[in-house]
Structure 1
Amino acid sequence: MSTEHDRAVLNQILNPLMPTTETSSNNSTQFENDQIDHCGYEESVGIEKEAVILAESGKVPEAIEKFGEAISKCPINPSAFNNRAQAYRLSGKIEEAISDLNEALKLSNPKSKTTCNAYVQRASIFRLKGDDDKAREDFQKAADLGSSFAKMQLIALNPYAAMCNKMLAEVFEKVKTGQ
């Protein structure tokens, strides 16, 4: 009989590029909050939540506009920049996404969840653009903050680990099919 941990380990072996939960028992990272002292911050957060709902319902252009409104209310809210970057990325506006991620990283607490998410998102963009060196650098920063997804991406960027994962997946596939 396998335990939940056993199944999680096996899943990571068979699906090395899939993200894992960020709240595993081995992850003791405690994120610090972004300290934002701005009169429009609370209103910005409310508008940002509306924008997230729009994005999740597929209304990405409207979400981008709403995130812009949230940023206008509080131009030092790193989360709004990080979330708008996600919407830009979904719209194929990669340079705008990178610009917003850079701004989110500039504004956020270096040990905040926003910082971790921005590094993961920017690294993913770099990886899609074929810039594995920059991707590796940002994934390492996110991994240092506790992102298990970033840790898995670092392994995937390691050609030796990728080769071992591929061979192991082939072995498991042969076992599953009885070969």
Structure 2
Amino acid sequence: MSELDKLSERDRAVLKSIFDPTAIIGDVTDNEDNFEDDEPEPTTSDYLESKTLSFRGAQLAEDGKLEEALEEMNKAIAAAPERAAAYNDRAQLLRLMRRDDEAMADLDRALQLTADRRSRARALALCQRGVLLRKRGAEEEARAAFAEAATIGSSFAKKQVVEMNPYAALCNQMLSQVLRGDKEIK
């Protein structure tokens, strides 16, 4: 066994980041979500129907049948209007349909429904919100959304927070230039 084989996963990630300045340590060490409060949804008939309709809608969306998918997502919300995940699902579909304002409204509703929880549904809504905010150029609001999702346990959000950190970006740029042998930072 070589000395490199004895290194921890974290130590290997640090070495990788040194030799590849574009690598993010989290890419190697934190690829799994770890939600603090990932309680199961109720198993009432309304919730189960909503989940089934959302799943059917997702399948239709994958097949490119976006309008039909939207009908199923609407039914999913009607079946269980307090199910935050249904709003997340429809928001994702609306984003695919380039209906960002409607998607944002669904995300706002999902966040209202999860205001007192630190759940997967909340983290997913925050991540989608962050993506939409970045698209709109609202970097600070996006960073705040990703930061909250990261504290809940979203690995995607953690990576976004690192990527959006202007100091980390500058450090990566400087390290990259040093490793290439550039003399001046641009």
Please indicate, yes or no, whether the TM-score normalized by the shorter chain is above 0.5.
Answer: yes
Which aligned pairs between 1:28-177 and structure 2 lie closer than 5 A? 29-33=35-39, 35-36=41-42, 39-108=45-114, 110-170=117-177, 174=180
- Which residue among 25, 28, 32 is the counterpart of 1:22? 32
Identify if the C-alpha distance between structure 1 residues 166 and 63 changes in structure 2 by more than 3 Å, giving closer, same or farther. farther
1:22 Cα offset (Å): 2.4
Give the fraction of aligned pairs with identical amino acids, expressed as a percent.
34
| Structure 1: segments with no counterpart, 5+ residues | none
Question: Structure 1: which amino acid aligns with 2:126?
Answer: Y
Helix, strand or coil for the counterpart of 1:165?
helix
1:138 and 1:90 map into 2 onto residues whose CA distance is 20
Is the 1:34–1:112 Cα contact (8 Å) retained in structure 2?
Answer: no
| Structure 2: segments with no counterpart, 5+ residues | 182-186
Please, which moves more after superposition, 133-142 or 6-15?
A: 6-15
Is the 1:36–1:76 Cα contact (8 Å) retained in structure 2?
Answer: no
Q: Once superposed, what is the RMSD of the aligned Cα atoms?
A: 2.9
TM-score by length of 1: 0.79
Please, which moves more after superposition, 107-116 or 67-76?
A: 107-116
1:59 and 1:139 map into 2 onto residues whose CA distance is 30
Helix, strand or coil for the counterpart of 1:49?
helix
- Max Rg structure: 2
1:48 Cα offset (Å): 0.9
Considering Cα pairs closer than 8 Å and 6+ residues apart, tell me whether 1 or 2 has the greater RCO. 1
